[in-house]
Chains A and B, each alone.
Chain A
Amino acid sequence: MELVKNIFIKLGSLDRRIIFLLVGLSVLLPLLKPAWFALPIRPKQHSQIVFNEINKLESGNRVLLSFEYGPSTMPEIHPMSIALLNHLFVKDIKVYAVALWPDGDFMSTDAFAEVADDYGKKYGIDYVNLGYKIGGEAVIKNIASDILSLYPTDIKGKSIENIPMMKEVNNVEDFDFVFSLSAGYPGSKEWVQYATDPKGIPMSTGCTSIQVTDIVPYVENGQIRGILAGMPGAAEYEELVKTELKSRGLVIKSGEATSMMSAQSMAHVVIVIFIILGNITYYLTRNNKRKGS
């Protein structure tokens, strides 16, 4: 028994670099050998709500898509953007993109480039990218009241007057749905406060894991309809969209989030083991100190 105790106490003083290495390996191995660690993905309630809300939209409806993330949070949010655009385009929904973060422009451009051609979608008719504007909530407030005065040109500098699908919108009330792809401030919270709550427009969000606990109160209250929570949320949504496309006779390969979920799960297992070991060591050393005193 004493030997086991000593082992645990020694584990407690393990060099942090060894822990980093083990966490690193737990991430790397599933990426190198995905077949060894493949786990099933089952959509949870909140992801299902998001899917159902988008699925309820009809052909020709207008969705405002806000890109509030950059390369640093790309692994979590970008797979959501890709899956969402697949879902919207297959249903012939018109997509209007804006960015509240400077690097959101790169993300939106990349996402459209990856998906639009697969569905034969034309810029200016089926989708438009209005680009980034500085100002945070002031931009959202402006979109809620007068989008045309805020965006005289699109992301490419083309006059809004020459974009056919922009003739149908004046403010946020002209959209059937708002979707916020958010990694922080300004993001989903500000959309709720300044646009969708005051104007009564339905909204969903896909956000980083770290934001989930702050956004969930709005979801529980119905102010936001469902939430895609971090990488697991993205993987669940990818699965739902894949099934939907399959039912329409379209086959797409598994999304990026789905392929990375094994690494996520393995890393969590390693971290949980270290947390348990750390707690056991803490209690043992505390007891030893008490006995000593």
Chain B
Amino acid sequence: MSAEIFGSWIVVFLTLCILSYLFDDNPFYKAAEYLFIGVSAGYAAAMAFWKQIQPNLFGRLWPKLETNGEVSVLQSIWYKVYEVFNFINTGFGTLDRSVFPEGGIKGHEEIRMIYVIPFILGIFMLLRLVPKVGWLARWAIAYIVGMTAGLRFYSFLNSDILMQIQSAAIDFTAGWGSIINAIILFIGTMTGLIYFFFSKEHKGSFGTLSKIGIYFLMIKFGASFGFAVMGRISLLIGRFNELKNYSTAEFNYATPIILVFIIISLAIWSFMDGGNKNESTA
């Protein structure tokens, strides 16, 4: 069996496992769900390490330098630290080098000591696993929260507030269609904002405006729901298309065989589980 056919059988099996949830929560679905979460988390962690931490953090702290044999004492000590990390990483010298290549990591030309700060903060984050010094993780979290807040403040203010306010203004020099469209949008924006203003009781004319705001919000939610359904159906089509492609003789009839297997297994499971439920009820 070639790797492609083997892969197609796994694809079909896992797809049908997930779709089996439509019948009921069952062991096939749970197995596929746990596998998906585990593989996703593992893959994301490995990618983060090899694409960012190794080349951009370790690579800046210990770059492969072209020194012509002239190395200062401080540099020499610094690269001794690198070798210590490598010694630990290679299982005390038993494994081959991987994270810390010989002489430094390629990609950067000079040592950037400022990157010691994120390195230390990263270690602080991991210390959360040690209860006694877990409080150190707060320093790293404080940095992330502060930095993100600062970074987002300007961008939100510019792109989401100022520019959106600008677009809510009505251009009376435009055509009639555009003016009417802009008026509707303006009313929708203002009444929507009024609905979320809770410092004044929603009564009288203020209450009426708030109610109009609800209708605009409902239209938005309706549109979002419609698009959500459309998106989910697109994904279903994608899966069905793949199941159809793998149902041919080229792939040893993966789809029909696995489908029959899962249906029979679910029928047996349902019968046995039904019995268990009846017993527990009695």
Contacts and interface: CB of A to CB of B under 8 A. Distances in A.
Contact of A209 (B47, B163, B164, B227): B227
A193 B237 contact: no
8 contacts: A17-B23, A28-B240, A31-B244, A135-B52, A197-B155, A221-B164, A221-B167, A231-B230
B223 to A, nearest CB: 5
A197 B233 CA distance: 33
Contacts of B38: none
B269 interface: no
Given A75-B235, A263-B240, A230 B107 contact: no
Interface of A: 17, 20, 23-24, 27-28, 31-32, 72-76, 102-103, 105, 131-135, 137-138, 141, 150, 152-153, 159, 192-194, 197-198, 208-213, 217-218, 220-223, 229-232, 256, 260, 263-264, 267-268, 271
Interface in B206-261: 220, 223-224, 227-231, 233-241, 244
Top 3 A-B pairs, shortest CB-CB distance: A75-B238, A152-B107, A209-B231
A27 B236 contact: yes
Contacts of A141: 151
B184 to A, nearest CB: 12
A159 B107 contact: yes
Main SS class of interface, A: helix
A152 B241 contact: no
A31 B233 contact: no
B108 interface: yes
A197 B164 CA distance: 12
Given A102-B43, A134-B51, A137-B151, A153 B107 contact: yes
A263 B237 contact: yes
Contacts of A197: 155, 158-159, 163
Interface string B13-35: 00000000011000000000000
Interface of B: 22-23, 43-44, 47-48, 51-52, 55-56, 59, 106-108, 151-152, 155-156, 158-160, 163-164, 166-167, 220, 223-224, 227-231, 233-241, 244
B82 to A, nearest CB: 17
A197 B157 CA distance: 12
Contacts of A232: 230
Q: Select the residue from A75, A194, A230 with max chain B CB neighbours within 10 A.
A: A75
B36 to A, nearest CB: 10
B51 A230 contact: no
A213 B224 contact: yes
A267 B55 contact: no
Nearest to A132: B51
Contacts of B223: 213
